[in-house]
Structure 1
Amino acid sequence: MRKLLYLLLLLPFVVVSQGNESFLLNLTEINVKQGHEAQFIEGVKSWKKCYQDNEGKNKWNMWRRVQGEGSVYTLTSSMAKWAEMDEDNDIAGQKCRIKVVDLIRPHIKSTNYNIARSMPEVSRTTPMPEDTKLVWVYNVKTSNSDSFKEAVKEISTAIKKAEGDSRATWYNVQGGQGSDYFVAVPYKNFAEMDVDRDGVWKIYEKANGKAKTDALRAKFRASVSSDWSYMYTLNEELSN
């Protein structure tokens, strides 16, 4: 399946729980042509049905970006090891290739593919709870990777000590264009975002005092050259 999807520039944003072990996350950002979103959705549905009818085993999730220009989707899946990219034994994917060629690709303006590695030492124990329907993703490009990772580790340690676990999963992007690191915060719905909780800096300050917090915040900001964030909602009809 993976080689087929690489070929078609469509790679499966779900995270299959890997426990506390690091895993690789495939992400393909799909920019749909203006006015073609309905056709794109129907095309993916048709491909998914074909894949299921042919007893395909692979899993993926499709997420739609909430903010920003245009209709943008992100398709994701996870791998335990790089060696999985050598595999080409997905018969169902091969049988359904024409669905992608005829019904999906004509409605795509552009795609951007990346691979990221999870960072379990600073992340939550369960990367993506089963009831996740929304994720907030914060991306950064760094000017000093070592300082950035040190700051993230200190913040994560404080949150785990205060709450028992981290709130999010951190990833290190493996080359390509875009961010160097990103963090994904899962939510069950938009209403959960209204829950009043202390911010991460407030938690750190309670544990370590204002002076140390100010110093760490300055270190974090100095290590980041640019940042941006988006929210994504899960489209269950297009996921498998």
Structure 2
Amino acid sequence: MAGQNCLVTNDWICGEYLRSRSQELTDATVQHIWITAVSVVIGLLVAFPLALLARRSRRIAGPVLGLTTVLYTVPSLAMFSLLLPLFGLSAALVVTGLVLYSLTILVRNILAGLEAVPQEAKDAAKGMGYGPGRLLWEVELPLALPAVMAGVRIATVSTIALTTVGSIVGRGGLGNLIEDALPSFFKAQVLTASVLCVLLAVVADLLLLGVQRLLTPWTRIRTTRDAVGAVAKVKAV
């Protein structure tokens, strides 16, 4: 009875809410994850060729980076309104908007990672007979992965937050629960959905960090070597 009373008294923390709305929370969380994952993956697929295009010519780099920056400054409500005639009230509307927002982060990080590849590494690969395609996929991209993955992590966390805005068309995942609860100020629902959003962002960032460490084992070796060197210097002193 005490657990049910927390719904009546509209408490922030309410175990009965979690028990009675567990399926609703699960569905909203799954939708949130799905929209985020699809948006980031499509964003990567679009950002990669744009970054390659920007790297090829300085004259192209300016407009590409400028356009992606301008897109990021457009308010989410205005962005969805502009896309509404094309996609209607659908998940595609939200995903497209999120993809456009992710481009400024992804394009810049991919471009920065590729430009940071040491010239001597590229020269050595060319000396071994690597063509442009093989050089990109087997030398440049692996060495650029730390910067690329950093961009993916930032874009993912940002997209998780922006997905909630999709609630204006009923495709906002956990944002739907927050919007539904605000008119009546249903505290337990607002708090639970908000906390789940934060947890999703933290878990996604940690998972991507783990993937980054698996894909770039040489960075761990370098970090360990630097740490050992620092300890040796301290002992020498």
Which TM-score tier does this pair reach, normalised by the shorter chain? under 0.3
Relative contact order (C-alpha < 8 Å, sep 6+): which is higher? 1
TM-score for the superposition, normalised by structure 1? 0.26
Structure number having the greater strand percentage: 1
Q: Which has the higher helix share?
A: 2
Over alpha carbons, which structure has the higher Rg? 2
